[in-house]
Amino acid sequence: MNNNASTPRPVTTAASVVGGGETYEQGVDPGRADRIVDSRTDLLAALDGSSGIVVYVADDAEIDLTGESSISLGKDVTLASGRGRNGSDGGLVYTDSLPRWLFRSRAAGVRVTGLRLRGPRTDYFDPREEFSDATAAYSCGVHLFGDTAEVDNCELFGWPHAAIAFGAREQPTDGFAHHNAIHHNRMETLGYGIEIYNGWSRIEHTHFDANRHAITGFGYDTNGFVAQYNLIGPTPVSHAFDMHRLSENVSCEDDLLAGKEVTIQYNTFAYTHDSLGRPQEAVDVRGIPAEQSTVDRNWFAHEREPSGNRGEAVRQGIDEPFRRLRVGPNNHYGPTVPDDPDVGCPRDSGQSRHTPESDFTVFDTLMRLTEVLRSR
């Protein structure tokens, strides 16, 4: 199965600190790798039973893993390539089948960095209309549920379930996803950029676009995230960041519990309507977090401060919002650039958040990128 006839490209500019690529400084030097691979056979052999090694996918490699599933990554294994290194897009690892998980690991210390990971479907579709069993379409790029896990400087796209998943039912994971470009993961019912199934995760300096939800949390009382310095848009599907009520997913005594805590700050949300043109919230906390949660210092394209209704910048799915969800006073609303450089995602062209000589602005860039995408 391959619905990637016209493969989308990442839409973050090379000059931006958000999204990784050319400005990224924490990549892996291939000269320090234990194995350099450029074929399916070599990649699978290098990962089989390994621990504590660096496996580097050659920057110009295109490795077809169609038919593979649940490829294991051992303890302290780094799977790397060179996205942004000397202008490289990074090695491409892809599948045209629908593996439940392409890579899956319960080991601690796993890192995936500098790769392009393409799944089987970049298009929007409803699995209930195409499959007798909708779960047959549930396909995830990387599921990591050891104690700690990191995904950085990757481009991940085409995953119907989720590009990245952290944690498991009985295994909270400290996940760290940063400087990624995550786009076109948009299957109806799921379609997540990052699913935080259990544990506490940080998501930073990532560009999300054309995902049904950029970030979603499952709802356990051990489940939460900090999302900061991210750019979301310009292509809408549904709301961007969400935390489920646990009762939406499993039976529980507290039917309003929605995770432990979420902190959403220094992000830019660059759309106001969904893919059908309806007003769409950017943040949706679908119950009451166990601890005080905060949404502040974000730049929302929405024109007005939220009051709790659908289609506004922030919504809480209860009768009387906002309970244990603080919408702070330092958010900025509307398309004009905030005066405060510490509101919204980084708008400079270097690794520092403040570069006075730069004329880079997020919305100007999005306008240019939207024109490019529409021309493809």
**How many domains does the chain contain in total?**
1
- By C-alpha distance, which of 226, 206, 269 is closest to 16? 206
Higher pLDDT, 253 or 310: 310
Is 232 inside a domain boundary? no
The three-state secondary structure class of 120 is coil
Report the pLDDT value the prediction gives residue 353, as an integer from 0 to 100.
31
CA atoms within a 13 Å half-sphere pointing along the CA-CB vector of 1: 16
Report the pLDDT value the prediction gives residue 356, as an integer from 0 to 100.
27
Is 123 inside a domain boundary? yes
The three-state secondary structure class of 234 is coil
Strand ranges across the sheet with 293-296: 35-37, 54-57, 78-80, 110-113, 148-152, 174-178, 199-204, 223-228, 261-265, 293-296, 325-327
Q: Are 127 and 159 in contact (CB under 8 A)?
A: no
Is 23 inside a domain boundary? yes
Is 52 inside a domain boundary? yes
Give percent above pLDDT 70 in the chain: 88
Q: pLDDT (tens digit, 9 = 90+) per residue, 193-218? A: 999 999 999 999 999 999 999 999 99
pLDDT confidence band for 17 (50 / 70 / 90): confident
Q: Is the pLDDT of residue 373 over 50?
A: no
Is 143 inside a domain boundary? yes
pLDDT confidence band for 368 (50 / 70 / 90): very low
Is 84 inside a domain boundary? yes
Q: Is the pLDDT of residue 287 over 50?
A: yes
Q: How far is CA 37 from the centre of its chain?
A: 26
Q: Is the pLDDT of residue 220 over 50?
A: yes
Q: pLDDT (tens digit, 9 = 90+) per residue, 315-365? A: 998 988 899 999 999 999 998 999 999 999 998 643 333 222 223 345 554
Strand ranges across the sheet with 116-118: 62-64, 92-94, 116-118, 155-157, 181-185, 207-211, 231-232, 268-269, 299-300, 332-333
- Rg of the chain over all Cα atoms, to the nearest angstrom: 19
Report the pLDDT value the prediction gives residue 364, as an integer from 0 to 100.
53
Q: pLDDT (tens digit, 9 = 90+) per residue, 88-103? A: 999 999 999 999 999 9
Is 268 inside a domain boundary? no
Report the pLDDT value the prediction gives residue 8, as an integer from 0 to 100.
54
Structure tokens at 368: 């240019």
Rounded to whole angstroms, how far apart are CA atoms 127 and 227?
29
CA atoms within a 13 Å half-sphere pointing along the CA-CB vector of 217: 39
Report the pLDDT value the prediction gives residue 252, as an integer from 0 to 100.
74
Rounded to whole angstroms, how far apart are CA atoms 103 and 143?
6
Q: pLDDT (tens digit, 9 = 90+) per residue, 118-170? A: 999 999 999 999 999 999 999 999 999 999 999 999 999 999 999 999 999 99
Report the pLDDT value the prediction gives residue 301, as an integer from 0 to 100.
95
Give the predicted TM-score (pTM) of the model.
Answer: 0.91
Q: Is the pLDDT of residue 302 over 50?
A: yes
Q: What one-letter code names the amino acid at 143?
A: H
What is the DSSP annotation of 256-298? TB--SEEEEES-EE--SB-TTS-B--SEEE-SB-SS-EEEES-
What is the DSSP annotation of 136-183? GG--EEEEE-SSEEEEES-EEE--SSEEEEE-BTTB--EEEEES-EEE
Is 54 inside a domain boundary? yes
| Residue 96, domain extent | 1-217
pLDDT confidence band for 5 (50 / 70 / 90): very low
